[in-house]
Chains A and B, each alone.
Chain A
Amino acid sequence: MSHDHSHSHGPGEACAHDHGHDDHNSPEYIQKTIKKYLMVGGILFGGTVLTVLMYYVHIPSVAITIAVALLIASVKAGFVAGVFMHLSDERKMIYGVLLCTVFFLIGLMALTIWAMHDQPFQTMIGGKPA
């Protein structure tokens, strides 16, 4: 992230801070990324097939079934965010925004899980203990 580059220049325009090897607007670089996009597309298709196949493989533990399904989904999401959304090579400002989002999302999920364990031990119905 420390190197100075940009995705945001117009077509065919030379990068203002051209470092040669990381000129993200050169036709060669774009051609290379196109190959990467197709490869990631293939990985995502494969990941989907794997997720569906896992459904038909009976895993006795519910926890493991959920963990495997979410793991495959997370890997797929990682490829979409990292490559298609260029997050693997982005500006600090965007990482900052996402760091806040991740913090609050984790907070949201943690509060949900906390709420599930915070059950009242004596339920009241009509003012009397049930």
Chain B
Amino acid sequence: MEIPYTVKPRPDTGLYNAKLGIWLFLASEVMLFGGLFSSYILLRVGADLWPHGMLSIPIGTFNTFVLIASSVTVVMAWANLKLGNPGKFKFYMAITILCALGFLSVKSYEYYVKFTHYDVWFKDDATAEKYFKAAYGEKGPEEVRELFVDRFHLHNTNAKYDPAQIQLVGHIAGNPLCTNLKKLLAAKQETIKFTADPPKGSHEHPHEIEVKLSDVQRLSAYVPAHSTFFAIYFTITALHGLHVLGGALVLAYFLFTVDKWWKKAPEQFTNRIEVGGLFWHFVDLVWIFLFPIIYLL
């Protein structure tokens, strides 16, 4: 069955139907992301402590450049179809899809780094102090406190310094993905080998220490369950990532079927590219706000 497609604008709306359709869809998307942004504001303002510098700014900046570049190339692809040049369309659309894949690869790498980075909370202050000294030497408690103050920008806010919240930050030997205390104990593990992060102002990792799991209160990778910050970070960026993936699949379909469509219905195809492009620009637009809000502020 052939679905009828009107290329000409309707006299009442002045638009071809697909264009009105995509704008109605984008309006609903604004509300979807708007709901999540407002949740972010509410969670952040309501939080006693909010971490800073948990995400890599160079990586985030690189991904912003990649998405902006893809927005330029997708509109160039459309403009070249308008000029009747499907060859150049293919070139620009291929770059757009490469950018989308690049963005998703970098995002996956970012997620992987978070899923293998751990915070360890100890059962009491004395035990914690013992491990801080084992990791960083005699000045251990002070080094760990420095990292804590830095993470929560305590020098900038009125939040109180809370010793019960201080944790050892670093990597478990073998880089296990998304493990936690329950899983480790279920696997009959009694100790872990742990390399703490470098102290503030240094890039050198301290030597590996052995941590008894019986001393540990909580152990968590940077997964959504870690904290409110990571819960909202993963929710918003994963939803955005799914949009990038969905958009890339549709644009890739256009790229691979251009020859057939260009012969059969060039106007309809050009309209489809415009509609696909509008969605793609929206995905870029969401990231333009996400990047400063989550990475920088």
Contact = CB atoms under 8 A, between A and B. Distances in A.
Interface of A: 4, 6-13, 16, 25, 27, 30-31, 33-34, 37-38, 40-41, 44-45, 48, 51-52, 54-55, 62, 65-66, 69-70, 72-73, 76-77, 80-81, 84-85, 91-94, 97-98, 100-101, 104-105, 108-109, 111-113, 115-116
What's the dominant secondary structure at chain B's contact region? helix
B127 to A, nearest CB: 30
B245 interface: no
A7 B79 CA distance: 11
Nearest to B81: A11
Given A73-B292, A92-B14, A109-B34, A30 B82 contact: yes
Name which of B37, B81, B266, B281 has the most chain A CB atoms within 10 A of its CB. Answer: B281
A84 B292 contact: no
Contacts of A52: 57, 61, 296
B49 to A, nearest CB: 15
Contacts of B270: 10-11
Interface in B244-297: 266-267, 270-271, 274, 277-278, 281-282, 284-285, 288-289, 291-293, 296-297
A41 B31 contact: no
Given A66-B297, A69-B297, A105 B292 contact: no
Contact of A8 (B7, B65, B76, B297): B7
